[in-house]
Structure 1
Amino acid sequence: TPHAPLILDIEGTQLCATDRQRLAHPLTGGLILFARNWVDRAQLAALCRDIKAVREDLLICVDHEGGRVQRFRSDGFTHLPPMRAFGELWLRDDKGRPGSGALKACNAASAAGYVLAAELRACGVDFSFTPVLDLDWGESGVIGDRAFARDARVTALLAKSLIHGLLRAGMANCGKHFPGHGFVKADSHTEIPVDRRSLKAILADDAAPYEWLNSTLSSVMPAHVIYPRVDSRPAGFSSTWLEDILRHRLGFGGAIFSDDLSMAGARLIDGREVGYTEAAVTALEAGCDMVLLCNQSVDGGAAVDELLDGLAEAQLKGGWQMREASELRRRALLPNGAAPDWDELMRSPDYQHALSLLP
């Protein structure tokens, strides 16, 4: 099986001829949808059908976490609470029943995962980049209420519960942003944050959920953060972080996505700015199975074509090796079971019950 590592995007609300060409490219493994690709459910379902008609195995992804990160919010989509709401529920015990809040919060998180995944799948979307495993240190504006809690143990158990809900609807999951984005103030979309803590401190706290969930997580997305006491490269370009620590030390066997290569921090490697192809090759060589290039299809998508051509050329010249294991991990993220019908889902007792449990 050839390895299809690129996750691209499209400009509009339907496929044009150029989109079809890019999606049919053997190096394309999927695409990520944004709010600009959304009009309503009927349009989204038609778009997803068109994408699958190009190639059945393309992975249709979206950032759909709840709170302020949720791409589809109208035409029947449930407004999911931010993950912090579950962390707050955890702390609210019934009178005389210590620990009851924790169990209620876990149950509610499972309900949220089910609602999130079932609604997306009913419209043809395969996969959401969730849950956030970053800890809420109170410092990071870009993470903030996207995090469950400050405590790594609470975070891991609530994330596991959310994942259980996703799984009930046949959807895989993605823990992010490894080994932790919650400690730094800077936003990696606009600059490259630096976390100066020791490896020991990070493993004891922020990275702990990745070890505790190593049999539960189907994929991981690393942070565009530099941890200079471990490696001078951002985590997503560092084989120390991805291979030595995540794979070997923490025992993770699933897929690794790069974060968006178009982000400001993404193409600064060893102090110099590199092009999209070099960034992608570096991420793949460091241990990523897939790389994302987002928001570059607008204005004609020169960067998308540059990356498709550049990666094809790098492969021919031996700049990177296709890995069968990476392709198997990518395919393992495709959903399990038939997607629900939207109207039937709305009427189903399971779905109604799950809605009633949301905080």
Structure 2
Amino acid sequence: MTLGPLMVDLKGVTLDSEERAWLGHPWVGGVILFSRNYESPEQIAALIKAIHALKKPRLLVAVDHEGGRVQRFRDGFTLLPSASLLGKLYDRDQRQAQRLAMTTGWLMAVELRAIGVDVSFAPVLDLAQGVSAVIGDRAFHAEPDAVIALARAYIRGMAWAGMAAVGKHFPGHGSVVADSHTVLPVDERPWRQIRERDLLPFEYLVKAGLPAVMPAHVCYASVDARPAGFSPFWLETVLRGQLGFQGAIISDDLSMAGAAEVGNMSARVRTVLGAGCDMALVCNDPDGYALLLDELNGDPYPQIPARLLRLYGRYPLTRSRLYRSPAWQKAVRTLAAYGKF
């Protein structure tokens, strides 16, 4: 059995027979969890254990758990600050901000690893240009150097907790007003401006060994008519060729309006995989999964891409062991004191 290139979501807090059938399909290699799947740490840990038991190699389990307004699990988890708070601190004290970024990345990742989550789709590497409301305070800073410094520390903290980082949204979502959840944003800036600013965090962190990247559902019209996640130019020529990226590429949600121009869902999945993505993310369409999987026939991969295998979480631990840890207790106190720095 293979680890397929499709990641899907679930309807509720337990698995039903229909979902078990989806997840057993050879094209499915992962599950993304949302707030609707969460009731308590005990319940979500049991759900993840049930997901892991379905097939071998086991399905990857992911979540968007950046902090601030994008944190899917709240009750029973440490409430994480938005990335922009670290950016504000960076303007006052760069070293302290980087230490806090590392602590935040570690705490986010270690609490998720304690319930069995493999990967959180974080951090955001977009520049906070004050233009995009959907990015907004999810971004660390407006300046590439600050984003690089804070994201590097955050990613290091994640790695110490046994979690691979996913930098998003390549090559940069911070300079468009439109929200790709509802329309396809178009960025009219010239290549040189994108290259000299937005690409810098991705370029630096790729050189530092960034494990995974999520491309934006944004069209950079002066460069390519296709949105970045559907573009061989952005994914193969720029990301893999010019930047030398060797990690996994995971599409953004193909149910978003920014992906709609490509065609129906099976066309979107095949297009992003053909453009260079290793895994296609499809969310919020449970009624369409059966049809999608019927259309995605055949063996998706001759062998499992090693890039996906590297996304499995490491250093498994229990929640009880974590809560007894002095490192966890200190990290929780540190984040509680954010406003005092």
Tell me the TM-score normalized by structure 2: 0.95
CA distance in 1, matches of 2:140, 2:41: 29
Distance 2:103 2:290 in 1: 40
Deviation at 1:288, TM superposition (A): 0.5
Do residues 311 (structure 1) and 311 (structure 2) align? no
Q: Deviations over 1:269-301 (max 9, x none)?
A: 3xxxx110111101000000000000112xxx2
Q: Would the aligned equivalents of 2:254 and 2:283 in 1 still touch at CA under 8 Å?
A: yes
* Distance in 2 between residues matched to 1:10 and 1:198, nearest whole Å: 40
Gaps of 5+ in 2: none
Where in structure 2 are the equivalents of 1:328-339 lying within 5 Å? 328-337=306-315, 339=316
Residues 70-149 of structure 1: pairs in structure 2 closer than 5 A? 70-74=71-75, 76-92=76-92, 101-149=93-141
Deviation at 1:82, TM superposition (A): 0.1
Residue in structure 2 matching 1:322, options 286, 301, 309 = 301
Distance 2:242 2:292 in 1: 32
The DSSP-based 3-state class of the residue aligned with 1:46 is: helix
1:354 maps to which of 320, 331, 335: 331
Question: Does structure 2 retain, via aligned residues, the 8 Å contact 1:67–1:83?
Answer: yes
1:130-169 → structure 2 map (5 Å cutoff): 130-169=122-161
Aligned to 2:213: 220
| Secondary structure class of the residue paired with 1:47 | helix
Question: May I ask how many residue pairs the two structures share in their alignment?
Answer: 334
Shift of 1:263: 0.4
Check whether the contact 1:210–1:252 (CA below 8 A) recurs between aligned residues.
Answer: no
Q: CA deviation at 1:245?
A: 0.3
- 1:146-189 deviations in whole A, cap 9, x for unaligned? 00000111101111111111111101110000000000000000
The alignment partner of 1:30 has SS state of: strand
Q: Which amino acid is the alignment partner of residue 7 of structure 2?
A: I
Amino acid at match of 1:335: G
Aligned to 2:266: 277
State whether residues 117 and 313 of structure 2, in contact with CA within 8 Å, keep that contact through their aligned partners in structure 1. Answer: no
Query: 2:260 & 2:238 partners in 1: Cα distance?
Result: 22
Name the residue aligned to 1:234. 227
Which consecutive aligned stretches of 4+ in structure 1 deviate over 3 angstroms post-superposition? Answer: none
Task: Say which SS state the counterpart of residue 222 (structure 2) adopts.
Answer: coil
Determine the C-alpha separation between the residues in 2 that align with 1:328 and 1:307.
Answer: 25
Q: For 2:234 and 2:53, how far apart are their aligned partners in 1?
A: 37
Give, as a single letter, the amino acid of the residue that structure 2 aligns with 1:17: S
What TM-score, normalized by structure 1, do the two folds share?
A: 0.90
Helix, strand or coil: the match of 1:229? coil
Distance in 1, matches of 2:108 and 2:2, equals 31
Three-state SS of the structure 2 residue aligned to 1:163 is helix
Say if 2:8 and 2:281, in contact at 8 Å, map to a contact too: yes
Aligned to 2:42: 42
Aligned counterparts of 2:233 and 2:121: Cα–Cα separation in 1? 23
Does structure 1 residue 257 correspond to structure 2 residue 250? yes
CA contact (8 A) 1:111 1:355 kept: no
Q: 1:354 to 1:216 in 2, by over 3 A?
A: farther
Deviation at 1:327, TM superposition (A): 2.1
Residue 180 in structure 1 maps to residue 181 in structure 2 = no
Which amino acid counterpart does residue 281 of structure 1 have in structure 2? R
Q: CA deviation at 1:2?
A: 4.2
- 1:65 matched residue in structure 2: 66
Q: 2:127 touches 2:174 (CA, 8 Å); kept in 1?
A: yes
Contact 1:183 1:195 in 2 (8 A): yes
Deviation of 1:323 after TM superposition, in Å, equals 6.0
> 1:335-346 residue pairs with structure 2 within 5 A?
335-337=313-315, 339-346=316-323
* Corresponding residue for residue 259 of structure 2: 266
Distance across 1 between alignment mates of 2:306 and 2:291: 26
Cα distance, 1:4 vs structure 2: 0.8
Given that 1:178 and 1:223 are in contact with CA atoms closer than 8 Å, whether structure 2 keeps it comes out as: yes
Rounded Cα–Cα distance in structure 2 between residues aligned with 1:330 and 1:236: 17
Tell me, what secondary structure is at the counterpart of 1:259? strand
* Paired residue type of 1:173: A
Aligned counterparts, 1:202-213, within 5 A: 202-213=194-205
Distance in 2 (CA, whole Å) between partners of 1:3 and 1:323 is 11
- In structure 1, distance between residues paired with 2:191 and 2:19: 42
1:105 aligned counterpart, secondary structure: helix
Q: CA deviation at 1:355?
A: 2.1
- The CA RMSD measured in Å over matched residues stands at 1.3
